[in-house]
Chains A and B, each alone.
Chain A
């Protein structure tokens, strides 16, 4: 191809590209009810995926909240020296699993005990009779995961600490922790299974919606072929339409989800004692919510148009 031919070819390709975009908007407007129905179905599908996301967020939040309320208390012997206590604290904090400790001295424990039982006359009298503080210091330990408490407790259950540590609360909470751990794992498994289930349903809905939309235009596709249109000239507007459907459905879904989160947030806050969990999640994951869902819908709609159109292009 010479230089003039090359320029003419490029110009012709550009003209065809612009026409493809024009035809896409024209088809969209002239098949407005079908277009609206396609966008509506895509929105419904995206809303169901977002509902699942909300369930996952709330489940995760609930699990984190329950886990953060679990801790293990180590009660020291009353007569143990501060040096021994410091040794235990430094031993415990050396574990990578430990994310926090709170030390309460004998005096602090006594103060807290008195405050708790200030209305109990018998306990107040008994304490007054005692000249010395009968209580020992306490160390409250928190780990990343409740399952890790056992490692810490096992490490403290050695002969060196037998005379220092009076008791550990772990034995009482061990079963509860195991149960929470089991429930957490089951909920996560269920959540993954639901995600796969919804993904399959979403794929089938999109596939069928686009297939029906293209099937209704199969005669037009054949006519275009008979008049001399190339496959790309026919496919082009459908790809542009798929893009527009994806933009519209993702944007409208994001708007609906945002307002739904705003409405739900006060109710969620009442349960988790934390404001705007859902709205915060929306903004911190906006790229995933908008970008990820847009890319997924775009990929599915374009792939489906290709598959659905292949048959009708054999003219």
Chain B
């Protein structure tokens, strides 16, 4: 599903974010990418959604080499990946329902399908009754659940979560991880970037550990080892 070959990202002479990393993430896997701050985790996510371009190496998603992706193809790539951001990135002037619908609207989905799918996805994340609220009227945990709903609504094969629990308390963290596990059980590949030790250890899934831009460990049923 995701294949990294010799992936390198150098921002300037002194900043090497990713240093020749290679890995393969298969369809339906749940992989945690862990590492201390500044080890290249977020850079990796940015490369996966074409927010950054690699300096060297290749990235393939579903057989599509996106390392030299054309600007006009970027929206199509992003519509195939569900992304969950630590800082939510919700549109403040749109309601919960409109935020989730937006992911379908950009892809030109019909209004009929949007009316059909969005309420169901909001029910899955337990926010159906707050569909008309604005993000500013929701708690951090609720906002993150809206983001999860937005990332799922177009049924992506891959969901990438960049520190999704970074701004949440223990209860909300638990809820978000449970939703991610459920998404994965339905066959979606989940890439979770985190430095939350408890979360990683409780998952008992594959763990890739990054340090100074290199992969220093890649274990099935792994643990947080830093």
Write the residues of chain A forming the contact surface with B, with a CB cutoff of 8 angstroms. 12-13, 15-16, 19, 26-27, 30-31, 220, 222-230, 233, 315
Given contacts A27-B93, A220-B91, A220-B93, contact A226 B83 (CB under 8 A): yes
Q: How far does the alpha carbon of A61 sit from the alpha carbon of B110 in the complex, in Å? A: 60
B102 A227 Cβ-Cβ under 8 A = yes
Residues in B with CB closer than 8 Å to A226 are 49, 51, 78, 83, 85, 89
C-alpha gap A230/B73 in the complex (Å): 9
Known A26-B93, A220-B92, A227-B150; further 17 A-B contacts with Cβ < 8 A = A27-B93, A31-B93, A223-B90, A224-B91, A226-B83, A226-B89, A227-B103, A227-B106, A228-B75, A228-B76, A228-B77, A228-B78, A228-B79, A228-B106, A229-B75, A230-B75, A233-B106
B111 at the interface (CB under 8 A from A): yes
Interface residues of B (CB under 8 A from A): 49, 51, 72, 75-79, 83, 85, 89-93, 102-103, 105-108, 110-111, 150
A228 to B78 Cα, complex, angstroms: 5
Docked-complex contact B103 and A228, CB < 8 angstroms? yes
Q: Is the interface of A mostly helix, strand, loop or mixed?
A: helix
Name, among B91, B102, B108, the residue most crowded by chain A CB atoms within 10 Å (CB to CB): B108
Q: Are A228 and B107 in contact (CB under 8 A)?
A: yes
Which of chain A's residues have a CB closer than 8 A to the CB of B75? 225, 228-230
How many pairs, one residue from A and one from B, have CB atoms within 8 Å of each other in the complex?
Answer: 51
- Cα–Cα, bound, A229→B94 (Å): 15
B101 — nearest CB in chain A belongs to which residue?
A19
Q: Across the interface, which residues of A come within 8 angstroms of B92, CB to CB?
A: 220
A residues less than 8 Å from B106 (CB atoms): 224, 227-230, 233
Most chain A CB atoms below 10 A, which of B72, B78, B85: B78
**Chain B residues with CB below 8 A from A229, complex form:** 75, 102, 106
Which of chain B's residues has its CB closest to A9's CB?
B108
Please indicate the chain B residues that have their CB under 8 angstroms from the CB of A12 in the complex: 108
- Do A227 and B78 contact each other (CB < 8 Å), given the known contacts A15-B108, A233-B106? yes
In angstroms, Cα B91 to Cα A30, docked, is 12
Q: Tell me which residues across on chain A come within 8 A of B76, comparing CB atoms.
A: 228
Q: Which chain A positions have C-beta within 8 A of B150?
A: 227
The reply to whether B93 and A30 form a contact with Cβ atoms under 8 Å apart is yes
A220 to chain B, nearest CB (A): 5
**Most-contacted residue by chain A among B75, B110, B111 (CB, 10 A):** B75
Chain B residues near A15 (CB-CB < 8 A): 108, 110-111
> Which residues on the B side are within 8 Å of A13 (C-beta)?
108
Q: List 6 A-B contacts (CB under 8 A).
A: A15-B110, A224-B106, A226-B83, A226-B89, A228-B79, A229-B106
* A18 CB, min distance to chain B CBs, angstroms: 9
Please give the distance in Å from A80's CB to the nearest CB on chain B. Answer: 89
A223 in contact with B91 (CB, 8 Å): yes
Residue of B with least CB distance to A227? B103
How far apart sit A128 and B40, CA to CA, in the bound complex (Å)? 118
Residue of A nearest to B151 (CB): A227
* Residues of chain A within 8 A of B108, CB atoms compared: 12-13, 15-16
Nearest-neighbour CB distance to chain A for B141, whole angstroms, equals 19
Kindly provide the distance from the CB of B133 to the nearest chain A CB, expressed in whole angstroms. Answer: 14
**Chain A residues positioned under 8 Å from B91 (CB to CB):** 220, 223-224
**Bound-state Cα–Cα, A120 to B106, Å:** 94
Contacts of B90 in A (CB 8 A): 223
- A27 / chain B contacts, CB cutoff of 8 Å: 93
The 9 closest A-B CB pairs, nearest first, are A12-B108, A228-B78, A228-B79, A229-B106, A30-B93, A223-B89, A230-B75, A228-B75, A228-B106
Residues of A within 8 A of B49 (CB): 226
Cβ of B110: which chain A residues have Cβ within 8 Å of it? 15
